[in-house]
Amino acid sequence: MKIRILLADDHKIVRDGLRALIDSYPDMEVVAEASDGRTAVRLAKEISPDIVIMDISMPDMNGIEATRQISADSPGVKILALSMHSDRRYIRQLFVLGAAGYLLKDCAIDELVNAIHAVADRQLYLSPRIARVVMGEYLSRKQTADSSVFSLLTAREREVLQLMAEGKSTKEIAYILDLSIKTIEAHRQNIMEKSNIHSVAELTKYAIREGLTSLES
């Protein structure tokens, strides 16, 4: 039986390249593609792939939030992060939220295939470079209380912050999240109070710095 894979990346050229490589192996196939995290969450529910190869920086809903929702709603689906980011914040959060593997986009195809097989066999996979980052964090472990966006804000507040940072109006955010304008305004106020940031420009910088969105998306 083939390993069924969902590709989630906002760059079509990346998805096309990955599809061609993966489909060239007889024991795996790409069954669907998503250009943003929200679509990835929906498709994971609808088609139940074995693995989602997940980019982190995507518009509308980033890969970290998508990983959280897929892990909660579709626990049988494994998440393999494929990202350009080697920042320990992303790595830590993805594994906390349920990812089964993490490797970098400049990896060789052989490493990607090995990672897919490992995750499909219910193993965790870390590329050597990512493993060094993780080990460095444990060895230096002089960390103060976690004040990252992932501990400071609720999941809904993170969704609202990402959409704010991507230039969506309050009305547009309310429509996307199927909430009232009043509720979005309340979330926005909570975000500002918790982060102690009171301008959209600074909140946008904060969202980018914390990995919720990217200038490239």
Q: Which domains does the chain carry? A: 3-140 (3.40.50.2300), 149-209 (1.10.10.10)
Helix axes 200-209, 155-165, angle to 10 degrees: 110
Average pLDDT of the residues in 101-105? 92
Closest CA to 28 of 54, 51, 55: 51
Give the model's pLDDT for residue 93: 84
pTM metric for this prediction: 0.73
pLDDT surpasses 60 at 141: no
Instruction: Report whether 102 contacts 77 (CB < 8 A).
Output: no
Name which residue leads in pLDDT, 90 or 41: 41
What is the Cα gyration radius of the chain? 17
- pLDDT, tens digit, for every residue of 79-101? 999 988 877 777 888 888 989 99
